[in-house]
């Protein structure tokens, strides 16, 4: 099998797995228990909090663990609305956010919150000028992702942060695709909130990260005990949190070597495919892009058919984000770039990760080109 869908999720790192397992076996204590097994679990969580904080230039007290990036995003949006309950407020976001932000915004609209969904340029970038001109007197939050999950485009977060910093507007960035893959520093980005998810950087599924440096109070999504300093009820996922701490450290230690390798693999893939199928287009920005992620449209073919043909050959890629693939709607990200429904439906996302290597590229290119030619031949035959 060749797994080239690392934007959907990543394989847990071997060394991180070794650190995680004891917390499911010998050290399985509940972090709220008063005896030493519990204290060890609590200590492990605090150690992970320090590791995560150090990785993004934060302090430990700014970090809260959640069950996912989706929970962290939803929680922030919900809390903003709760903090300004009874007041007319406005939120700015972009049309290409992950659904955990977009659907949370839609839910807030039902409560009377005004939301502006900024368009993006044809290369997938949000324009800073658009952010500036969307600001209203009652704008309380801007939430723009650091890197997009379908096209990998990196947004000008530090520049937007610089602008918002001087105003009384809270700034959140969904950095789920970025953390562990490109340098992320909350101070440089000038964000008040940042979210991440451990399964995207070779940690385990089930651990999200919420960074907060803001007066805004997080209002509980779940009621119960006093876990996470009274902010988030529910017995902590100690093993997942421990894994998040080691995984983020390891990703950062390997980041520059991995990024160089993945970028070379993406470039080789795109060049080789375009040499054989010149009509193939790259969606999104080719420069400001995550090193391992690329989205390609194949004129005249369906991305879904391509994905299934690749699957038959043991190659995993996806048609859009993992959360929306399977829906028959064209991707909201690709249509926001100006692609027609047909172009959007002809796209696949290849996302390389730490465990891929250049030897796999030839096989991926060969299989994609063969699958594409097969689809085109069948289409021609059907037209006769």
Ligand X SMILES: Cc1ncc(COP(=O)(O)O)c(C=O)c1O
Look at residues 1, 5, 6 and name the one whose alpha carbon lies nearest to residue 317: 5
Kindly tell me which residue out of 74, 100, 251, 258 binds ligand X, with binding defined by CB under 6 A.
100
Stretch that binds ligand X, among 50-58, 103-111, 172-180, 270-278 (CB under 6 A): 172-180
Residues 15-44 binding ligand X (CB under 6 A) are: none
* CB within 8 Å of 194: residues ≥ 6 apart: 56, 146, 172, 173, 175, 184, 186, 210, 211
CB of 88 to ligand X, least distance (A): 28
Total residues binding ligand X (CB under 6 A): 15
The span from the CA of 378 to the CA of 363, in Å, is 22
Look at residues 181, 348, 167 and name the one whose alpha carbon lies nearest to residue 273: 348
Find the helix or strand (DSSP H, E) in which 228 lies. Answer: helix 227-230
Active site residue 323: yes
- The answer to whether 291 contacts ligand X (rule: CB under 6 A) is no
Whichever of 177 and 346 has its CB closer to ligand X, that residue is 177
Whichever of 68 and 331 has its CB closer to ligand X, that residue is 68
Q: Residue 92: phi, psi to the nearest 5?
A: -115, 130
* CB within 8 Å of 366: residues ≥ 6 apart: none
Stretch that binds ligand X, among 66-74, 276-284, 292-300, 335-343 (CB under 6 A): 66-74
Beta carbons within 10 angstroms of residue 379's beta carbon: 13
- The answer to whether 98 contacts ligand X (rule: CB under 6 A) is yes
- The answer to whether 69 contacts ligand X (rule: CB under 6 A) is yes
Stretch that binds ligand X, among 12-20, 67-75, 248-256, 334-342 (CB under 6 A): 67-75
- The answer to whether 4 contacts ligand X (rule: CB under 6 A) is no
| In the complex, residue closest to ligand X by CB | 69
302-335 in b/e form (b: 16+ CB < 10 A) is: bbbbbbebbeeeebbbbbbbeebbeeeebbbbbb
- The answer to whether 293 contacts ligand X (rule: CB under 6 A) is no
Token pair belonging to 254: 């390997």
Q: Sheet containing 193-197: which strands, arranged edge to edge?
A: 63-66, 208-212, 193-197, 170-174, 139-143, 90-94, 114-118
Give the ranges where 231-318 is alpha helix by DSSP (H). Answer: 238-276, 303-312
Find the helix or strand (DSSP H, E) in which 155 lies. Answer: none
Q: Can you tell me which residue has the tokens 């009377």?
A: 112
Q: Residue 154: phi, psi to the nearest 5?
A: -100, 130
CB of 146 to ligand X, least distance (A): 8
First to last CA, the chain: 36
CB of 247 to ligand X, least distance (A): 13
Kindly tell me which residue out of 143, 197, 297, 320 binds ligand X, with binding defined by CB under 6 A.
197
- Tell how strand 208-212 and strand 193-197 pair up: antiparallel
CB of 273 to ligand X, least distance (A): 24
Let me know how long the chain is.
Answer: 384
Token pair belonging to 128: 């800073």
- The answer to whether 149 contacts ligand X (rule: CB under 6 A) is yes
Whichever of 29 and 208 has its CB closer to ligand X, that residue is 208
CB of 59 to ligand X, least distance (A): 23
- The answer to whether 66 contacts ligand X (rule: CB under 6 A) is no
Residue of 105, 316, 323, 369 with catalytic role: 323
CB of 289 to ligand X, least distance (A): 14
For the chain, the 3-state helix, strand and coil shares in percent, each to the nearest 5, are 45, 15, 40
- The answer to whether 181 contacts ligand X (rule: CB under 6 A) is no
CB of 145 to ligand X, least distance (A): 5
Site mask for ligand X (CB under 6 A), range 203-242, x = bound: -----x----------------------------------
CB of 101 to ligand X, least distance (A): 7
- The answer to whether 143 contacts ligand X (rule: CB under 6 A) is no
The span from the CA of 263 to the CA of 369, in Å, is 20
Kindly tell me which residue out of 5, 62, 174, 250 binds ligand X, with binding defined by CB under 6 A.
174
- The answer to whether 145 contacts ligand X (rule: CB under 6 A) is yes
Q: Give the residues lining the site for ligand X (CB under 6 A).
A: 68-70, 73, 98, 100, 145, 149, 174, 176-177, 197, 208, 321-322
Active site residues: 323
């Amino acid at each position: 099998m060749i797994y080239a869908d690392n934007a959907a999720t990543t394989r847990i790192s071997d060394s991180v797995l070794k650190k995680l397992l004891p917390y499911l076996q010998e050290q399985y204590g509940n972090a709220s228990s008063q005896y030493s097994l519990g204290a060890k679990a609590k200590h492990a969580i605090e150690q992970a909090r320090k590791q995560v904080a150090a990785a993004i230039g934060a302090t430990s007290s700014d970090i809260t663990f959640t069950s996912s990036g989706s929970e962290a995003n939803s929680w922030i949006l919900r809390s903003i609305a709760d903090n300004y309950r009874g007041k007319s407020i406005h939120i700015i976001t972009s049309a290409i956010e992950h659904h955990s932000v977009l659907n949370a915004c839609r839910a807030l609209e039902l409560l009377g919150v005004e939301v502006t969904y900024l368009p993006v340029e044809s290369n997938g970038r949000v324009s800073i000028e658009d952010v500036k001109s969307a600001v209203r007197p009652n704008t309380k939050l801007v939430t723009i992702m650091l890197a997009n999950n379908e096209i990998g485009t990196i947004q000008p977060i530090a520049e937007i942060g610089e602008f918002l910093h001087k105003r009384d507007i809270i700034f959140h960035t969904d950095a789920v695709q970025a953390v562990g893959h490109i340098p992320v520093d909350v101070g440089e980005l000038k964000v008040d909130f940042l979210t991440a998810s451990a399964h995207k950087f070779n940690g385990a599924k089930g651990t999200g990260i919420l960074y907060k440096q803001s007066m805004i109070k997080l209002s509980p999504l779940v009621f119960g005990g006093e876990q996470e300093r009274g902010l988030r009820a529910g017995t902590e996922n100690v093993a997942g949190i421990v894994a998040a701490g080691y995984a983020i450290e390891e990703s950062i230690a390997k980041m520059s070597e991995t990024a160089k390798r993945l970028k070379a693999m993406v470039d080789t893939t795109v060049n080789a495919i375009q040499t054989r199928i010149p009509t193939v287009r790259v969606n999104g920005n080719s420069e400001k892009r995550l090193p391992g992620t690329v989205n390609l449209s194949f004129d005249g073919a369906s991305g879904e058919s391509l994905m299934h043909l690749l699957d038959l050959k043991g190659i995993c890629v996806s048609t859009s984000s993992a959360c929306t693939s399977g829906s028959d709607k064209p991707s909201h990200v690709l249509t926001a770039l100006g692609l027609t429904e047909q172009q959007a439906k002809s796209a696949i996302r290849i996302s390389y990760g730490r465990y891929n290597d250049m030897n796999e590229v030839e096989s991926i290119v060969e299989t994609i080109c063969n699958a594409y030619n097969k689809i085109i031949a069948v289409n021609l035959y059907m037209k006769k």
